[in-house]
Amino acid sequence: MSRPPRKIDEPFFGSKKIFISCFQGICILIATLGVYFVTLEIGYVIGEVRAMTFATLIFANIATILTNRSWESSIFTILCTPNKTVKWVVGGAALFILLVLTIPFLQRLFQFEPVSIWEIAITFAIGMSTMIWFEIYKHFWLRKQD
């Protein structure tokens, strides 16, 4: 609310935002495909590969939601700023992935095999890492603006 309103003739989504958003999607795609092909190459069962790939996709989308809340503030500032909607969305996504990975009926429905907590932690780290570049970009872009 501290910024002035945007000009009426200024587009809501500029080419810069569209490019960055597409690049975010490409990073998520690369990470997800990386998990898929590496786990296949290592010799995981296809159900485990599906579970780990899906978890990576969900975690990467959570990272995208969190980092895109502000294109100016760091993710640490964003996490400290209360927002009920984001809590519900992120909490719902985290609960969903937890249920799908642990409840046998849902595992069968999604054709997943059980995965260990370490494998979930790895997919979490990979999913969250997809937005590190954007946080670095925001940090240096903010520094340049000051």
Classify residue 7 by its DSSP letter.
Answer: P
* Cα 99-124-66 angle, rounded to 5 deg: 95
CB of 106 closer than 8 Å to CB of 41: no
Q: What is the pLDDT of residues 5-27, one digit of tens each?
A: 767 767 767 787 888 889 999 99
Q: What is the pLDDT of residues 89-124, one digit of tens each?
A: 999 999 999 999 999 999 999 999 999 999 999 999
Residues 61-77: what's their mean pLDDT? 82
Q: What is the pLDDT of residues 29-42, one digit of tens each?
A: 999 999 999 999 99
* Cα 62-67-73 angle, rounded to 5 deg: 155
User: What phi and psi values does residue 78 have, to the nearest 5 degrees?
Assistant: -60, -45
pLDDT number for residue 4: 74
